[in-house]
Amino acid sequence: MFNEIDWLKQYKMYGEFDLKRIESILLFSYIWNLFEREICEKNALIKNVSQYIELLNNIDSKTDDMDRLWKHFQSRYVSGGIATEKFNDFVFNDDCIKSIALTTLTNDNPSLKDKIETILRIVFRLRNNLFHGEKDVSKLYEQNELFSKANEFLSILLDLRKRY
């Protein structure tokens, strides 16, 4: 019987493969699937981030959660008002979108909507970098917490999805 873990250990010679240390990354694929199906109508496009936010109901009810997540992403990507190496190395594939994200991340008082849009742009890029081979798999262990925050963020958006 085929064993995925054994295969991964052999394929790239990952002598140590700890499923727990990438659990949030693996769960991200499932949560992203729900997000893309229920909010993006099976066609997630980073250019439509503002439209996806319009589909949310009562975002103010999650201000505390969003502020906490915002602080996490902001401290990861900005320090002392300038982009960190992690932000500079982050593959956006669109300088305009990266610039918009950085402008919001360095803003002293962005609106809740701007925070949500910026986090969503970052999560889109996490998804693309993971699913399209940009992300170095040897560094996945150190990204589990980042994907845990992305999962929490997407779950909040799904909870806020307007139901007609």
pLDDT in tens, 79-119: 999 999 999 998 888 999 999 999 999 999 999 999 999 99
Angle, helices 144-160 vs 63-77, to 10°: value is 150
Average pLDDT over residues 45-74: 95
Q: What is the pLDDT of residue 163?
A: 63
* Total H helices, total E strands in the chain: 8, 2
- The yes-or-no verdict on residue 35 having pLDDT over 90 is yes
**Segments of the chain assigned E as strands:** 78-79, 82-83
Report the pLDDT value the prediction gives residue 56, as an integer from 0 to 100: 92
The domain spans of the chain are 38-160
What does the alpha-carbon distance between residue 7 and residue 120 come to, in Å, rounded to a whole number? 33
Token pair in block for residue 90: 């982050």
Answer yes or no: are the C-beta atoms of 28 and 130 closer than 8 Å: yes
pTM of the predicted protein model: 0.91
pLDDT reported for residue 42: 95
Going from the C-alpha of 43 to that of each of 35, 50, 56, 127, 158, the distances in angstroms are 10, 14, 17, 14, 16
Mean pLDDT of 133-157: 89
At 13 the pLDDT is: 58
pLDDT band at 155 (very low <50, low <70, confident <90, very high): very high
The mean pLDDT of 53-63, rounded to a whole number, is 92
Cβ burial, residue 17 (10 Å; 0-12/13-18/19+): middle
Q: Could you tell me which residues are beta bridge partners of residue 56?
A: 161
Strand pairing category for 78-79 and 82-83: antiparallel
Average pLDDT, the chain: 91
Gyration radius of the chain over CA positions: 17
Residue 144, pLDDT above cutoff 90: yes
Tell whether the model's pLDDT for residue 5 goes beyond 90: no
Decide: 39 and 158 in contact? Cβ < 8 Å.
yes
